[in-house]
């Protein structure tokens, strides 16, 4: 396979970006994955998205590229503040390149990362339902969406609006109700207009994620579930290093390709000495809702076999069912909406099992 280089990407993009709309910013090549920033004037609005897609397609056409992500970044030098629209106090004082000196969620007993090598395997769905399951178990729980480019927790948890700050200038996480139990949620999605194509450049993303840990008033929690960005690149690695993770849960579909990505995730956590609690197989099988017939759409059992081979626990199988997607879209995770559903049982069991292995539970906060 040919080696992907920045130069090849630049060459491929020479004719693609209309200079009236933007110019090429940073390019990051991570093996067969390429991230490219296009610096634009956000005022140009709707014309920018087709250009972003064209750039992405042009990069994906470069031999050796498996995945490309093009992002539009604002041309301005100072980052956009995390401001509360329409009055109120600005939340957090703005995303800045300067990393906050506050400690990382100091009163949180256990931070659990939910990770996947690849996007689209249901990582956010698992993170949302796992957090809801911990809340249902009566644990003081938070859910932190660290997937800056693909923030999905505001929609999955049915929350909107800009968070406010408290008197200490910390961002107050909105709370959602999980069958009578509170769940605190924070996501960069709260600060980005829905559907807005303009996001931030690399270093700003890094500091934004840090801000979600340090400048949010998480308070005293038993568990903070973190929906990590997909992949096993620098962003994930650095997060695994600066956040004191109790451990990680890896989500995979049963397909071989997703499993090899899951294995990469596992190796990454090993490298950073973060314990891996185990692998969850999502979209494991499908039970026809009218006739009960079971179908293994993506194959089945691959993750269980991989867990055995990699010597980590297998945590459970989550079926591919319309209700999981529908509940996610409706802003109420299935664990919150329908506790009696067999899929909710799977999540409840995983949460209970994790709670049992979390070390030193007695350490009082």
Ligand X SMILES: Nc1ncnc2c1ncn2[C@@H]1O[C@H](COP(=O)(O)OP(=O)(O)O)[C@@H](O)[C@H]1O
Query: Which parts of this chain interact with Mg ion (CB under 5 A)?
Result: 124, 150, 152
Of 48-56, 118-126, 135-143, 182-190, which part binds ligand X (CB under 6 A)?
118-126
In the complex, minimum distance from the CB of residue 329 to ligand X, in angstroms, rounded to a whole number: 6
Q: Between 33 and 72, how does the x/- string for binding to ligand X read (CB under 6 A)?
A: ----------------------------------------
- E-state strands within 31-120: 33-40, 67-74, 108-115
Selection from ligand X, Mg ion, none that 324 binds (CB < 5 to 8 A by kind) is ligand X
Exactly one of 152, 165, 210, 252 binds ligand X (CB under 6 A); that residue is 152
Give the DSSP letter of residue 297. Answer: B
d(C-alpha 272, C-alpha 310), whole Å: 17
Nearer to ligand X, 123 or 181 (CB): 123
In the complex, minimum distance from the CB of residue 274 to ligand X, in angstroms, rounded to a whole number: 19
Residue for token pair 């109790």: 246
Exactly one of 56, 73, 125, 141 binds ligand X (CB under 6 A); that residue is 125
- CB-neighbour burial class of residue 219 (10 A; exposed 0-12, middle 13-18, buried 19+): middle
d(C-alpha 186, C-alpha 70), whole Å: 25
154 near ligand X (CB under 6 A) = no
Of 103-111, 120-128, 166-174, 206-214, which part binds ligand X (CB under 6 A)?
120-128
Bin 346: left if φ > 0, else alpha if -120 < ψ < 50, else beta: alpha
In the complex, minimum distance from the CB of residue 11 to ligand X, in angstroms, rounded to a whole number: 31
Exactly one of 246, 321, 346, 354 binds ligand X (CB under 6 A); that residue is 321
116 near ligand X (CB under 6 A) = yes
Q: Where are the alpha helices (DSSP H) in the chain?
A: 6-13, 48-60, 123-136, 153-156, 202-214, 234-242, 256-271, 302-310, 322-330, 334-337, 342-357
Nearer to ligand X, 192 or 320 (CB): 320
Best CA proximity match to 29, nearest among 86, 61, 57, 67: 67
Selection from ligand X, Mg ion, none that 116 binds (CB < 5 to 8 A by kind) is ligand X
Selection from Mg ion, ligand X, none that 141 binds (CB < 5 to 8 A by kind) is none
Selection from Mg ion, ligand X, none that 173 binds (CB < 5 to 8 A by kind) is none
CB 259 within 8 A of CB 304: no
Query: Six-digit token pair at 244?
Result: 């004191």
Residues 6 or more apart from 365 whose CB is under 8 A from it?
A: 107, 108, 109, 220
- Cα 38 versus chain centre, distance: 23
Selection from ligand X, Mg ion, none that 252 binds (CB < 5 to 8 A by kind) is none
Nearer to ligand X, 73 or 125 (CB): 125
Exactly one of 189, 328, 331, 333 binds ligand X (CB under 6 A); that residue is 328
In the complex, minimum distance from the CB of residue 124 to Mg ion, in angstroms, rounded to a whole number: 3
| DSSP secondary structure of 173-204 | PPEEEETTEEEEEEEGGGGS-TT--EE--HHH
- CB-neighbour burial class of residue 60 (10 A; exposed 0-12, middle 13-18, buried 19+): middle
CB 116 within 8 A of CB 232: no
300 near ligand X (CB under 6 A) = no
Selection from Mg ion, ligand X, none that 253 binds (CB < 5 to 8 A by kind) is none
282 near ligand X (CB under 6 A) = yes
Exactly one of 72, 121, 159, 245 binds ligand X (CB under 6 A); that residue is 121
In the complex, minimum distance from the CB of residue 159 to ligand X, in angstroms, rounded to a whole number: 16
Residue ranges in contact with ligand X by CB under 6 A: 116, 119-125, 152, 230, 282-283, 318, 320-321, 324-325, 328
């Amino acid at each position: 396979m040919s080696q992907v280089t920045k130069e090849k990407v630049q060459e491929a993009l020479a004719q693609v970006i209309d200079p009236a709309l933007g110019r090429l910013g940073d390019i990051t090549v991570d093996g067969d994955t390429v991230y490219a920033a296009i610096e634009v004037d956000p005022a140009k609005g709707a014309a920018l998205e087709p250009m972003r897609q064209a750039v992405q397609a042009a990069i994906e056409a470069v031999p050796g590229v498996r995945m490309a992500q093009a992002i539009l970044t604002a041309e301005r030098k100072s980052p956009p503040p995390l401001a509360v629209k329409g009055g109120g106090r600005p939340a957090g004082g703005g995303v800045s390149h300067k990393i906050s000196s506050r400690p990382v969620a100091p009163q949180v007993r256990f931070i659990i990362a939910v990770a996947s090598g690849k996007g689209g395997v249901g990582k956010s769905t698992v993170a949302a339902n796992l957090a809801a399951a911990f809340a249902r178990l009566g644990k003081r729980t938070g859910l932190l969406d660290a997937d800056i480019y693909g923030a999905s927790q505001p929609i999955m948890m049915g929350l909107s609006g800009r968070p406010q700050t408290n008197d200490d200038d910390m961002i107050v996480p909105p709370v959602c109700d999980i069958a009578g139990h509170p769940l605190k949620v924070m996501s960069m999605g709260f600060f980005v207009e829905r559907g807005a194509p303009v996001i931030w450049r690399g270093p700003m993303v890094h500091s934004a994620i840090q801000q979600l840990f340090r400048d949010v008033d998480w308070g005293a929690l038993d568990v903070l579930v973190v929906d990590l960005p997909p992949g096993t690149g620098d962003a994930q690695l650095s997060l695994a290093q600066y956040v004191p993770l109790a451990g990680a849960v890896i989500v995979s579909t049963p397909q071989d390709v997703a499993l090899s990505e899951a294995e990469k995730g596992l190796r990454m956590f090993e490298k950073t000495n973060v314990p891996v609690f185990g692998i969850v197989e999502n979209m494991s099988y499908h039970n026809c809702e009218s006739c009960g017939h079971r179908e293994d759409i993506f194959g089945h059992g691959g993750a269980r076999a991989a867990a055995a081979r990699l010597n980590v626990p297998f945590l459970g199988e989550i079926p591919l069912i319309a209700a999981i997607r529908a509940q996610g879209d409706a802003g109420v995770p299935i664990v919150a909406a329908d506790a009696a559903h067999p899929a909710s049982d799977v999540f409840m069991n995983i949460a209970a099992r994790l709670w049992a292995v979390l070390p030193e539970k007695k350490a009082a906060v």
